[in-house]
Structures are given as C-alpha cells and as structure tokens.
C-alpha cells in the first residue's frame, strides 16, 4: 500500500477541530477515554485513535482498522518525542502558544458568540480549547521538523521513478478531470466620495469612544475584521513584522491608550488603539471597515476589464502581458496569471473548483476566455476577473509520459516512508514504549514489542 507524505505524517496531527474533544463523539457502550499508549513521555489517548479512525471513514478511506491507526500514531509520537530532545530543532513552543490566541479568535469570529463556538466543538471553557490548539500545533511542528531531518537526504533518480511506476502503476490513483487556468483579477477602485464616507464613519466612531463609549463594544458592533471583532478588536502579543506595515507603523507611533486617525491598508480602513508595548511585542485594538466597492465602482472596473479582454482577443496584448500589467493578484500576476494547484503544479481538479469559476468555464475549450465576472478572492475582496483555459486534462490513469512529476512525488514519498521505518526500528531499543493490553492482538507493521511493555 502506497502512503504519501501528507497521509503518513499529518493524519494524526491535522484532524478537524472537532477531534480536539473526542469524548463527545464516543457512543454509549464504547470505551471511555483513557491512555492507550505511552511513547517516552508522550501520551496517546484512546479518543485520539478513535477520532482518527472516524475522520478517515468520513474522508472515504478504504482501510479503517484501529490497529493500523495506532501503528501510525505510535510512529508519529516517536517523531515528536525525539524531536523535543533534538538540539538541531529550534524550540518554538512559546511562539506557537502565543499564536494560539489569534487562532482561537479567528475561530470564534465564525460563530455568533464564543459560547456557540465552544458548544459546537464540545469544549467546556476557552482555556481548554486554547490548550488543545496549542498541543496540536506544537505536535505538528515537532513531528514535521523531525520527519524533515530524518528524510532530508532522500532523493530519487529517473530510473527509480520508472521502476516504481512499473511496480505500482495499477495501484496508483486515477487522475480526475483537471484544468489549467490563468486569470486577471482587478480590485475595483473606490471613488474619493466613497472613501470619504468610510473615513467619516470611522471618525464618528472614534469621537464616540473619546466621549466615553467602549472601544471593545464599538469593535464588536462595527469592525469587519473576522479575526478580532468578536474579541473587541484586540490582538495580543503581536510580534513586530507580523502585521501589514501601515498597521504596525501606526500602532507603534501611538502612546498607550491613544487612538489613531483612520488609515488605509490593503484590507480597508482602520482606527487603531495601542493597548500595550513591551520589547518586541505589542497589544493593539482596531476597528476595520472594508473597502467594499459599490455597484458603480464595480461597473467601472468591468468596463475596463472588457477593454483588456478585447485587446487580448485582437492580439494587442498577450494574456501574460495583460496579467503582469493589470492584475492585482500578486500570487499569479508574475506567473502569466497561472493559478496554482494544491499539489504545487498548475493543474486544478475540476470537482474542487469554486462554484462561480466552474460555472464560468463550463463548455470552454483550450484557449478560450471566460466572460468578465465578479469573484470573491480568498482574502474576501471582490475582484472583477477574466480567466483563460490553458489546458483541459480528461480523467486518465497516471502515465510516465504526461504525469512524470506526480509519479515522482509518489515514488519519493514511498522511499521516505521506508527511511522512516528504518529510523523507527533504530529508535526502539532506546525508547520506553508502553501499549495498553487492548491492542495485544494487533498485527502491527512495526515490532513495538522490542521495547514495549504490554499492560
């Protein structure tokens, strides 16, 4: 069975947030949570095994044997345990803990209230959930760092890729319908009158705060920042260099408690209050009003994009030249507008396309341009967009002639997996591993009994 890096390493770390509190998922009559194994001083809970098993089932995994998941979790816990003792790996635990508060605030912002969020994720308190976030992120960091060190010298030759393909081609997944797209995305420009309207609203909010209203309450009511609005606009323990330049420069030029005049960033318009400054960190509140274009501004941008489209069709500009000259999408404008796929290639799986994009490209062939349309970018900004179809790749079995890089990735991950297995075997004699007796009948891939004390 071929396991890629993503499955091998991250399954036990990156289960959905619902798995933070696995006891909520255990059904009546099931084993109540308890310690299933210990690797060094790393504990594996029964709930962790059950949640990964449930998650794999939800994702359509063919194999969901609990023993297999325990086998994988033991390997990952061994990576984490050894990573924390490895002096070559930087200890970032403190920094990760500081980031947990920001991540928690972002999650809260997606719910009507903090209580609603805690109820949805089955946590009793915010402290409990923040601890869960911290632990997951710390384990993820150490596991990935150690894995990278263990496998850093692994490489693969073209002949090895060919040999791998010949041996496993009937087990490799089939490539689903894919497409290669380029885009030009233009953010509609706000008129000066519209900007003044937003700025004057922020000035009025600032006046109300200076007159005695709470910044915290005003932020909860008016701020359009999903990462901080529910927390009264507050960001804590901000490391210098983390925020956009205009935000940081404004905040650090204030006295503690002082509120800035409205400033414009790529996210919209803000008023900012410096709460506390200490060394290389600071706390700040802000109220963000997004620069949402109105119908007139969108229509102006559409007319400009229609002209660009005509210039491309007439040959006055290539799509690459137009993307570089006009696109506001920094991730694609310097790459001829080509949209990157999840695996780092330029191929996008059709089934995973945004519904708006899927509608626009329906029925188009190689070389065709879409209509001009409005699309909400991942940064939640509305963009007037056109796209070009560069390639249409029908569903097919992986083939060396057309999918060499993808096959190479599978082959490399398999080789890395073999190196990891060898490393695990080498660590067993020097590592305390205790596995609960309920797993005594498991036929583990690794011979954990070489160091395990079965209870």
Average pLDDT, the chain: 87
Task: Name residue, tokens 């501004």.
Answer: 297
Three-state DSSP at 323 gives helix
What are the residues facing 287 on neighbouring strands? 271
Under 8 Å CB-to-CB from 445, ≥6 apart: which residues?
68, 71, 421
pLDDT for residue 8: 36
pLDDT grade, residue 300 (50/70/90)?
Answer: very high
Could you report the per-residue pLDDT of 28-59, keeping only the tens digit for each?
334 445 889 999 999 998 888 887 777 777 76
pTM beyond 0.85, yes or no: no
- Tell me which residue of 339, 369, 344 sits closest to 354, measured CA to CA: 339
On whether the CB atoms of residues 288 and 269 are closer than 8 A, the answer is yes
CA distance 257 to 276: 8
Sheet containing 234-239: give its strands across. 234-239, 281-289, 268-278, 263-265
Give the chain's domains with CATH numbers: 5-167+402-454 (1.10.4030), 178-188+294-393 (3.10.50.40), 192-289 (3.10.50.40)
pLDDT tens for each residue of 240-292: 888 899 999 999 999 999 999 999 998 899 999 999 998 888 999 999 999 89
């Amino acid at each position: 069975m071929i396991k890629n890096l993503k499955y091998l390493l991250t399954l036990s770390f990156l289960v959905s947030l619902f798995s933070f509190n696995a006891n909520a998922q255990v059904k009546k009559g099931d084993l109540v949570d308890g310690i299933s194994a210990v690797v060094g001083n790393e504990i594996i809970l029964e709930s962790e095994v059950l949640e990964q098993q449930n998650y794999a089932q939800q994702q359509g995994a063919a194999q969901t044997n609990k023993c297999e998941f325990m086998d994988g979790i033991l390997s990952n816990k061994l990576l984490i345990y050894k990573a924390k003792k490895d002096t070559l790996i930087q200890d970032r635990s403190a920094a990760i803990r500081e980031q947990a508060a920001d991540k928690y605030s972002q999650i809260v912002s997606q719910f009507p209230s903090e209580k609603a969020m805690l109820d949805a994720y089955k946590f009793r308190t915010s402290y409990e959930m923040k601890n869960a976030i911290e632990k997951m992120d710390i384990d993820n960091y150490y596991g990935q760092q150690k894995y990278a060190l263990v496998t850093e010298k692994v490489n693969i030759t073209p002949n090895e890729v060919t040999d791998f393909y010949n041996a496993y081609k009937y087990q490799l997944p089939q490539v689903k319908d894919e497409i290669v797209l380029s885009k030009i995305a233009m953010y509609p420009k706000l008129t000066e009158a519209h900007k003044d309207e937003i700025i004057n609203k922020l000035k009025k909010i600032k006046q109300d705060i200076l007159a005695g209203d709470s910044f915290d309450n005003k932020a909860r009511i008016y701020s359009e920042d999903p990462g901080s609005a529910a927390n009264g606009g507050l960001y804590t323990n901000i490391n210098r260099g983390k925020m956009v330049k205009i935000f940081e420069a404004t905040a650090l030029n204030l006295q503690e408690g002082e509120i800035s005049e409205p400033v414009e960033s790529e996210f919209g318009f803000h008023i900012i209050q410096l709460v506390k400054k200490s060394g290389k960190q600071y706390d700040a509140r802000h109220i963000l009003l997004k620069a949402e274009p109105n119908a007139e501004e969108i229509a102006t941008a559409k007319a400009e994009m229609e002209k660009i489209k005509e210039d491309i069709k007439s040959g006055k500009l290539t799509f690459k030249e137009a993307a570089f000259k006009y696109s506001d999408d920094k991730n694609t404008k310097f790459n001829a507008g080509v949209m990157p796929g999840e695996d780092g290639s330029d191929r996008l799986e059709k089934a995973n396309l945004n519904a708006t994009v899927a509608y626009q490209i329906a029925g188009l062939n190689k070389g065709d341009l879409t209509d001009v349309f409005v699309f909400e970018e991942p940064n939640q900004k509305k963009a007037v967009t056109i796209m070009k179809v560069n390639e249409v790749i029908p569903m097919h079995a992986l083939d060396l002639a057309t999918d060499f890089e993808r096959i190479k990735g599978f082959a490399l991950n398999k080789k890395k997996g073999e190196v990891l297995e060898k490393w695990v075997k080498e660590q067993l004699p020097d590592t305390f591993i205790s596995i609960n007796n309920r797993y005594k009948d498991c036929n583990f891939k690794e011979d954990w009994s070489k160091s395990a004390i079965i209870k």
